[in-house]
Structure 1
Amino acid sequence: MSKKEILNTDKAPAAIGPYNQAVKADKTLYVSGQIPLIPETMELINTGVADEAHQVLKNIGEILKNAGYGYEDVVKTSIFLSSMDYFATINEVYAGYFTENQPARETVAVKTLPKEVNIEISVIAWKA
């Protein structure tokens, strides 16, 4: 029987609440929702939704890398947007990170997100 393993890296933003960046259980990695924070300064990117999406996906990439995974191991993403007006822009950015065998996903618009950001993404990754 395996146990869960808590994973955190200083190359991604520190948690802003009572949670960890990622938890690994067996071969599955659960990555907490990431917002467009710069890890070194914990400042928000606010230069447009494309820049915000790039920062979020870079943060996710660092968490995946720290755990020994990559974007190709992601099986599920959940995207939360402050407005569906950003859907096309987010898709363009997202496609640059998930280039083959894209994961399952949902994208939903919500009333508000932490720190009033426009985007938050969480992922689940798995590898044999």
Structure 2
Amino acid sequence: MPITKHNPTGLFPQYRNYSHAVEVSGDSRILFISGLNGYLSDGITMPDSFQEQGEIIWNYIGTILKSAGMGYENIVSLRTYLSSPEYDEPNVQLRMKYLGNNEPALTVICCQLLESKWKLEIEAVAAI
């Protein structure tokens, strides 16, 4: 079963021992997208607002999906980590904006994230 790493340009630099996404292909293709945060493509700058971080992340997800020949409609599972419950409704609104009628399996977790400036992190699984 072939494994393809997806690290398209335009996203923040990869961390050590990390890929932005890994695709497993065979009769079907499954793409595992690592947890993404709101860093701009320089890997240093991050907006303060939840909305801006969320838009950046969802655009990164779209870029990765496109690199694999997929779209938001191919997402089958999402895991979202929020730094505070106050971000639940804005998170739902972003998800609805990008997923449309797609209803993947979903988990939302409130927790302390690795960096204090992160408001959310999202990981996804897509299939075709």
TM-score (norm: length of structure 2): 0.90
Residue-by-residue CA offset, 1:4-25 (whole Å, 9 max, x unaligned): 1112111222222321011111
Aligned residues, how many?
124
Give the drift of 1:33. 0.6
Residue 34 of structure 1 is matched in structure 2 by 36
Give the drift of 1:115. 5.7
Residue 79 of structure 1 is matched in structure 2 by 80
Structure 1: unaligned runs, 5 residues or longer: none
Using a 3 Å threshold, how does the CA distance of structure 1 residues 104 and 50 change in structure 2: closer, same or farther?
Answer: same
Identity %: 24
Aligned-partner SS, 1:122: strand
Rounded Cα–Cα distance in structure 1 between residues aligned with 2:10 and 2:72? 16
Residue-by-residue CA offset, 1:54-99 (whole Å, 9 max, x unaligned): 1110111111111111100000000001011110011111110000
In angstroms, what is the RMSD of aligned CA positions? 1.3
Aligned-partner SS, 2:99: coil
Letter in 1 for 2:39: L
Structure 2: unaligned runs, 5 residues or longer: none
Q: Does 1:3 align with 2:5?
A: no
